[in-house]
Amino acid sequence: MSSCWRSSEQGVVSSEQASGGQSLGGIVRPWPQTGREEMEIDMAQLGVINYNWPGYDLEGFAARASEIGYTSCELQIGDIWAGEGEHAEQRAEDVRRLFEKHGMQISAVEAGNDFLQADPEELEAQIRRYRRVCEVVPHTGTDIVRSDGGWNRGDQVPQDQWDGMMLEAFQHCAEFLEELDVRIALDNHGVTTNDGDWQLSLIERVGSERLGVNLDTMNYLWYGHALDRIDHFYEILAPHVFHTHFKDGKGSRENYKGAALGEGDIHLDHAVACLRKAGYDGAWTAEYEGPEAEGGVGYEKCYKWLQTNVPV
């Protein structure tokens, strides 16, 4: 029997609010030292990722997403920092203010990391870069660094080395997570991390409460897992979820077709139920890869589904 239940029942989840700090994912944290003294109040986080919005620059995306109704968003580190220069923190604060102007919070920042490197010096460089990303991210107002495992570009790393290499990298990263007050949300993405049992194993072996999951509801199907297996992944990972990508679609690999939430094959109601049971109180973030990206039409459909089916 499933350890979670399927349900369309709606509920209300409230998040703690505090003056002089920020409430993200139910955790109230002090802002970085940016001179902000006014009270920050977390809004219900029906969120969206800054991806597949053709024709929109960053501010245009913020305006359109806010117009639809979204109150949080995930950004990529490239939206904030190009990897060079000394003013990344200031740029992060400017971007945060841009989204605040449109009534939005930043729920996570994608790190763009790649921990599968054939050259040990390149792996060390990736870890140093990752630390720098973790220094910058809190200035956006979130503590969540959405992360990949690795891409193995050029097929230079044999598959039997993937696990050990990613484990070593995340163990090194865990050494500075508390110091920098950030959390890692490991995505099930591509071919290297798209297995929920492996994700849980990595979390347990690293042994840091600051390593969790960005749960992408569709990517497991894209990889080729059966729907009942995917439901199992939702069940075992729900207590470790820091962030989400709610995404729907049909098929795997070359047969994959993205869809608006509720229009594909994914058991989204089961994912919601598992997260509710685990007490998840972070952002419910839509990701859309269907054919109606122009003008944010697909993301409008996703917002309506979230509004109806998610307890905020």
Question: Which CATH number goes with the domain that contains 131?
Answer: 3.20.20.150
Predicted confidence at residue 82, as pLDDT, reads: 82
Q: Is 67 inside any structural domain?
A: yes
Q: Which residue has the tokens 């959405």?
A: 146
Predicted confidence at residue 3, as pLDDT, reads: 44
Average pLDDT of 278-290? 97
Please give the tally of structural domains in the chain. 1
Q: Is 76 inside any structural domain?
A: yes
Neighbours of 275 (CB within 10 A): 25
Q: Is 9 inside any structural domain?
A: no
pLDDT at residue 256 tops 70: yes
Mean pLDDT over all residues of the chain? 89
Q: List pLDDT tens digits, range 186-236.
A: 999 999 999 999 999 999 999 999 999 999 999 999 999 999 999 999 999
Q: Is 195 inside any structural domain?
A: yes
Instruction: Write out the two tokens for 186.
Output: 């490991």
Residues in Cβ contact with 81 at an 8 Å cutoff, skipping those fewer than 6 apart: 88, 91, 92, 133, 136
Average pLDDT of 174-180? 98
Q: Is 24 inside any structural domain?
A: no
Backbone angles phi, psi at 183, to 5 degrees: -125, 145
Predicted confidence at residue 53, as pLDDT, reads: 97
Residues in Cβ contact with 174 at an 8 Å cutoff, skipping those fewer than 6 apart: 206, 207, 208, 210, 211
pLDDT at residue 68 tops 60: yes
Q: Is 95 inside any structural domain?
A: yes
pLDDT at residue 156 tops 70: yes
Query: Which range marks the domain in which residue 92 is found?
Result: 31-309
Q: Is 16 inside any structural domain?
A: no
Backbone angles phi, psi at 48, to 5 degrees: -150, 150
Q: Is 80 inside any structural domain?
A: yes
